[in-house]
Amino acid sequence: MTTSILNGTGNNALAFSDEQAMLLDSAKNFCGDKSDISAVRSHLQSDSGHNPEIWQEMVALGWTGIAIPEQYGGFAMGLGSTVPVIESMGRHLLGTPLITSTLASQALLRGGSEAQREQWLPKVVQGTVGSMALLDNEDWGAKLCGVTANQSDSGIVLSGKKLLVADATVADFFVVAINHNGNHSSNPALAIVEASQLATGAITANTLIDETKRAATVDFTGATISLDALLPHPEQALKDVRLIGALLIAAEATGTSAATLDSIVSYLTSRIQFGRLIGSYQSLKHPTVDILLQMDSSRSLIYHAATLIDDRPVAKDTEIACRMAKAQATETLLFAGDRAVQFHGGMGFTYDCDAMLYIRRAQWAQHQYGDAQHHRLHLAKLLLD
């Protein structure tokens, strides 16, 4: 009888500013124009995975400065305004270092010194790429201690490798989680390392399941940094960046889910088998509806998180929103991509079929900044204890 039978418990804030709406419109158009499927495929084998001219156009549009305060040359529109841009990138599988660079700049904003911010943030706005080097192993929740730091006469000498460092070959600097001065391994320090400080051959490109993405194993061994390169507030920065990373990957995945759904609907309304359009079969129609509804959930959750996130340390409600968004959005894309392959039948099994791009993106996205189970584990601590 009553459709509205849900209680409004908890924080259900959801807002979308005119500014965000304009960004969404322009990003949709831009990404659609610059990144049709043939453009996406043309970068699958390239080193950087993206077109530097398009990256410069994005810089000119101001997207690298959306969440950076005006005093550092940014546009101070807040992190919530990056979400529609990144969702649009996901929709067109547009490869760029925007997510990586946004996260590195957020690490500096949230944990860096004034000097560090002044040194790097204006450059990031102008297109310099920063990258986060967090991972020592497969678990985003695990201890980060693989890169150790030893004091020497010349400074702090690093030793050890990081895995899956996004867009490492085009990064000018890295924010690296390290074990320094007996810092407990679950509570690492963060250090800024410039690409020029790395030894020759330190970057070994990873072969990724998603060929539209780029990451590398980076060996920081031998890199020597000064004390000034350490972020003064690593704990808050690390916590926040992991959650912001989860949100941005969720936003991108939601865009890709929308593209995946479009691709399925297009095939179901054009392919004829056994004398009928295959979209008329309920065994295909109903799961496709499920994808739509899951995508609706993802979109509601990412914009809820985008509403709550701001420049302050991530609060509990915001953490809940980011984790829910990530858990939902990447599971949605896994489901959508998996069904996209299956519903394309024999074509779906080929490299030529675009469903390949979507399911590979799904498998990549689920593991970035924590998989769904990881986030549910942490949500349980926040909501059930």
Partner 1 sequence: MSQDNPSQAEFRAQVAAWMQDNRPADPGFLLPQTFMEVGSERVLEFLREWQHKVWSAGYLGMAWPKEYGGQGMSRDFQRIADEEMKRLQVPICFNVIGLGWAGPLILDNGSDYEKEKYLKGILNADDIWCQGFSEPNHGSDLGSIQTRAERDGDDYLINGSKIWTTMGNFAKYMILLARTDAQVERRYNGLSFFLAPMHRDGITTQPIQKITGEYGFTETFFTDARIPANCIMGEEGQGWRIAMQTLQYERGAEAGAAGGISILSIVMDDLLRMAAEIEREGEPLLQDPVTRDNLIKFMIEEKALQLAEKRIEIPALCRDYPNSIALSGKLRSTEFFRRMRQYALTLQGAQGSLYVGDQETIGGGFWQRAYLNNFSTTIGGGTSQVQANIIGEHVLGLPKD
- Report the C-alpha gap between 286 and 280 in whole angstroms: 10
Does 288 contact partner 1 by CB under 8 A?
A: yes
Does 3 contact partner 1 by CB under 8 A?
A: yes
Selected binder of partner 1 within 293, 310, 316, 350 (CB under 8 A): 293
Residue with tokens 């398009």: 54
Selected binder of partner 1 within 280, 310, 311, 350 (CB under 8 A): 280
Does 9 contact partner 1 by CB under 8 A?
A: yes
Residue pair 106/240 in contact by the 8 Å Cβ criterion: yes
Does 316 contact partner 1 by CB under 8 A?
A: no
Stretch that binds partner 1, among 20-28, 45-53, 184-192, 209-217 (CB under 8 A): 20-28
Here the tokens at position 205 are 């490109």
Q: How many residues does the chain have?
A: 385
Here the tokens at position 91 are 């929709």
Selected binder of partner 1 within 207, 273, 352, 384 (CB under 8 A): 384
| Residue 30: CB minimum distance to partner 1, A | 16
**Which residues have C-beta within 8 Å of that of residue 165, sequence separation ≥ 6?**
131, 132, 133, 135, 171, 174, 215, 216, 217, 218
| Residue 228: CB minimum distance to partner 1, A | 42
236: left (phi over 0), alpha (psi -120 to 50) or beta: alpha
Does 275 contact partner 1 by CB under 8 A?
A: no
Does 373 contact partner 1 by CB under 8 A?
A: yes
Does 10 contact partner 1 by CB under 8 A?
A: yes
What is the contact mask toward partner 1 in residues 202 to 241, using x (rule: CB under 8 A)? ----------------------------------------
Does 379 contact partner 1 by CB under 8 A?
A: yes
Residue pair 193/164 in contact by the 8 Å Cβ criterion: no
Selected binder of partner 1 within 14, 37, 60, 142 (CB under 8 A): 14
Does 292 contact partner 1 by CB under 8 A?
A: yes
Does 75 contact partner 1 by CB under 8 A?
A: no
- Report the C-alpha gap between 244 and 235 in whole angstroms: 14
Size of the site for partner 1 (CB under 8 A): 52
Residue pair 338/288 in contact by the 8 Å Cβ criterion: no
Here the tokens at position 162 are 């990081």
- Please give the backbone phi and psi of residue 329, each rounded to the nearest 5 degrees, phi first: -70, -40
Q: Which residues make beta-bridge pairs with 229?
A: none
| Residue 71: CB minimum distance to partner 1, A | 30
Selected binder of partner 1 within 299, 339, 344, 360 (CB under 8 A): 299
| Residue 261: CB minimum distance to partner 1, A | 8
Beta strands in the chain (DSSP E): 130-133, 148-152, 155-159, 161-166, 173-178, 189-194, 203-205, 215-219, 224-225, 272-273, 276-277
Residue pair 217/165 in contact by the 8 Å Cβ criterion: yes
Selected binder of partner 1 within 12, 150, 204, 226 (CB under 8 A): 12
Does 269 contact partner 1 by CB under 8 A?
A: yes
Output the CA angle 263-269-274, nearest 5 degrees. Answer: 120
Stretch that binds partner 1, among 31-39, 155-163, 166-174, 298-306 (CB under 8 A): 298-306
Does 30 contact partner 1 by CB under 8 A?
A: no
Using CB under 8 A, list all residues that contact partner 1.
Answer: 1-10, 12, 14-16, 20-21, 24, 258, 261, 265, 268-269, 276-277, 279-282, 285-286, 288-289, 292-293, 296-301, 303-304, 324, 327-328, 373, 376-377, 379-380, 383-384
